[in-house]
Amino acid sequence: MAWKPTEITDLSGTTAIVTGANSGIGFVEARTLAEHGAHVILAVRNLDAGRAAAARINGSTTVEALDLASQESVREFAARVDGPVDLLVNNAGVMAPPTRRTTVDGYELQFGTNHLGHFALTARLLPALLAAPSPRVTTVASVAHHQGDARVVDGNPPEDYDPRVSYGRSKLANLLFALELHRRATAAGSPLTSTAAHPGVAVTNLVASRDGMGARWIVRTFAPPLMRLVLPGSEGGAESILYAATAAPAGSYSGPQGPGEVRGKVGPAKLSSLASDPDLARRLWSVSEELTGVRFDI
């Protein structure tokens, strides 16, 4: 498949929400969707950074505050959204902080932000999504989900914190959620489409973020320029997510097709056996409902 973002159809009259849209692949996603006619809500932690990003976009945008590490912020954001919403891109994330950190609600930062934040956000936006004729939720995963294990349901407890494995569990959670959302929407006869995608290994601000790997000064200083020598940037990394958000079939998982799924043309991505396990997905769903206090009425 040689799909390119230029193939995106006219999105005039639609509304899209992109989390973490002020930089990296999130910014490219927001910009591209707006350029094709969508009104894009940039859901960001830093409003100043979000407004600066919106000023660089040639299209209709709104900037709204959203901290996925706070269930209260998720609730307040959703309450401000006046539907219908045609597309939700669960894009924002935290990657591999060297020491275990927690959200304001006391959950491990990666599990609480990457998974629980987006889980609750999707549930709370469901009425606005179902008010659209063909709503779609696209969740950004990672090749790192292969490093996750069945303890994903434990939420990265302190006794066995490992930055790499804990990040992998959070991205496994993203995939389990996206695929279970597809199964539940299909069983309910809902018009909602759920897809997932990963960007390959792209050089973005995620690497340098002080919330994650960039907490180590040597990583945030030297890793990005060295990685740019051999890896694609945000433009290339965004392609598979944009495909999943606009054209991919329901229940699909997309990513680059090159060696190791690092880069290349867009196509079907490889799922780990755990990511394909519906029993594990149901267990994670129940845990996530209990922790966030939200329910899905599809």
> Which residues, including other chains, have CB under 8 Å from residue 42's CB and lie 6 or more apart?
18, 21, 22, 30, 50, 53, 54, 61, 62, 63, 64
Other Cβ atoms closer than 10 A to 110: 31
Active-site residue among 107, 167, 243, 253? 167
User: Is 167 annotated as catalytic?
Assistant: yes
The verdict on whether omega for the bond into residue 84 sits within 30 degrees of 0, i.e. cis, is yes
- The strand order across the sheet containing 15-19 reads 61-65, 39-44, 15-19, 87-90, 136-140, 193-197, 253-256, 266-268
- Distance of alpha carbon 201 from alpha carbon 261, whole angstroms: 8
Q: Phi and psi (nearest 5°) for 246?
A: -130, -25
Helices (H), 132-233: 163-187, 205-208, 217-228
Q: Which residues are catalytic?
A: 167
